[in-house]
């Protein structure tokens, strides 16, 4: 499973990229707004930090507007992935852009039927939002299971990018279902490292090592 980080904060991205565990980045207009910085500059900076796909979302909602913005964004760097909403115009833009060899992430996916459309439009990634579904009393993970079943049945090349991830359990459940990518807010990515028995075990080992009086050299 690939790990993307879901943030536009370049300091966070730099820090997480140094772990060697980061495969890509997703941003959205809300995350960009939080930074107070110019969108195209942020994307340029992120693409210089991370070699993998970096999702940059169009703001237009009509086909022509999306295409105009996509042409600007994809010029920034080779690893820019154009993020379009799961609408008829968004899927039309997806079809056109992927036909040109541009990576496209179809976002705001909330149903298996929508995911089927995204795959048929040739999306590189589809982003089902698991946390937002859980928030309204539906099962985000049941959606991932449905999409994986459909995509596997037809050998679609579209990668399932699990989004709106809120906890390590979302990551583990998605991995068990074989989802290709999870995009994680930085705190969730960091929390994957944690287990109290790891901390306790390490403290005990260090204490015992101290008793040996040795150094490794
Ligand atoms: C990813 O591409 C999405 O923009 C993101 O995961 C949404 O997450 P949220 O529901 O926590 O805002």
CA-closest residue to ligand 1 atom 7: 164
Question: How does residue 15 score in pLDDT terms, banded at 50, 70 and 90?
Answer: very high
Task: Note whether residue 130 is domain-resident.
Answer: yes
Q: Is 34 an active-site residue?
A: no
Task: Note whether residue 127 is domain-resident.
Answer: yes
For ligand 1, the distance from its centroid to the CA atom of residue 216, given in whole angstroms, is 45
Q: Which whole number is the average pLDDT over 113-128?
A: 98
Q: Which whole number is the average pLDDT over 172-191?
A: 98
The whole-number pLDDT of residue 48 equals 97
Task: Note whether residue 181 is domain-resident.
Answer: yes
The whole-number pLDDT of residue 39 equals 98
The whole-number pLDDT of residue 198 equals 98
Question: How does residue 2 score in pLDDT terms, banded at 50, 70 and 90?
Answer: very high
From 28, 53, 84, 130, give the residue whose CB has the most ligand 1 atoms within 8 Å, as the site to mutate.
28
The whole-number pLDDT of residue 49 equals 97
**CATH number of the domain residue 115 falls in:** 3.20.20.70
The whole-number pLDDT of residue 142 equals 98
The whole-number pLDDT of residue 20 equals 94
Task: Note whether residue 217 is domain-resident.
Answer: no
Q: What is the DSSP string of the chain?
A: -EEEEE---HHHHHHHHTTT---EEE--HHHHHHHTS-HHHHHHHHHHH-SS-EEEE----SHHHHHHHHHHHHTT-TTEEEEEESSHHHHHHHHHHHHTT--EEEEEE-SHHHHHHHHHTT-SEEEEBHHHHHHTTS-HHHHHHHHHHHHHHHT---EEEEBS--SHHHHHHHHHTT-SEEEE-HHHHHHTT--HHHHHHHHHHHHHHHHHT----
Task: Note whether residue 216 is domain-resident.
Answer: no
Mean pLDDT of the chain: 98
Predicted TM-score (pTM) of the model is 0.96
Task: Note whether residue 183 is domain-resident.
Answer: yes
Domain that holds residue 193: 2-211
Q: What is the pLDDT of residues 129-158, one digit of tens each?
A: 999 999 999 999 999 999 999 999 999 999
Question: How does residue 32 score in pLDDT terms, banded at 50, 70 and 90?
Answer: very high
Ligand 1 pocket by Cβ (under 6 Å): 6, 26, 28, 107, 127, 129, 131-132, 163-164, 183
**Closest ligand 1 atom number to CA of residue 127:** 2
Instruction: Say which of 83, 120, 157, 176 is annotated catalytic.
Output: 83
How many percent of the chain have pLDDT more than 70? 100
Query: Using CA atoms, how far apart are residues 132 and 141, in angstroms rounded to an integer?
Result: 11
Task: Note whether residue 97 is domain-resident.
Answer: yes
The whole-number pLDDT of residue 75 equals 97
Number of domains in the chain: 1
Q: What is the pLDDT of residues 46-71, one digit of tens each?
A: 999 999 999 999 999 999 999 999 99
Task: Note whether residue 103 is domain-resident.
Answer: yes
Q: Which residues pair with 125 in a beta bridge?
A: 105, 159
């Amino acid at each position: 499973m690939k790990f993307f980080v879901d943030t536009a904060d370049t300091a966070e991205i730099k820090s997480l990229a140094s772990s060697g565990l980061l495969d890509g980045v997703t941003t959205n207009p809300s995350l960009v707004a939080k930074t107070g910085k110019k969108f195209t500059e942020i994307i340029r900076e992120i693409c210089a930090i991370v070699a993998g796909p970096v999702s940059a979302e169009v703001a237009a909602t009509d086909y022509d507007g999306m295409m105009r913005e996509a042409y600007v964004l994809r010029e920034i760097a080779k690893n820019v992935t154009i993020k379009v909403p799961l609408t008829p115009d968004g899927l039309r833009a997806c079809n056109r852009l992927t036909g040109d060899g541009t990576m496209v992430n179809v976002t705001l996916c909330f149903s298996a039927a929508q995911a089927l459309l995204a795959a048929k439009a040739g999306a590189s990634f589809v982003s089902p939002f698991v946390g937002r579904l859980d928030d309204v009393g539906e099962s985000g993970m049941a959606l991932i299971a449905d999409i994986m079943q459909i995509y596997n049945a037809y050998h679609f090349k579209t990668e399932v990018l699990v989004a709106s991830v809120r906890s390590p359990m979302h990551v583990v459940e998605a991995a068990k279902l074989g989802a290709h990518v999870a995009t994680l807010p930085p705190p969730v990515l960091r929390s994957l490292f944690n287990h109290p028995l790891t901390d306790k075990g390490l403290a005990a080992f260090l204490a015992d090592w101290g008793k040996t009086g040795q150094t490794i050299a």
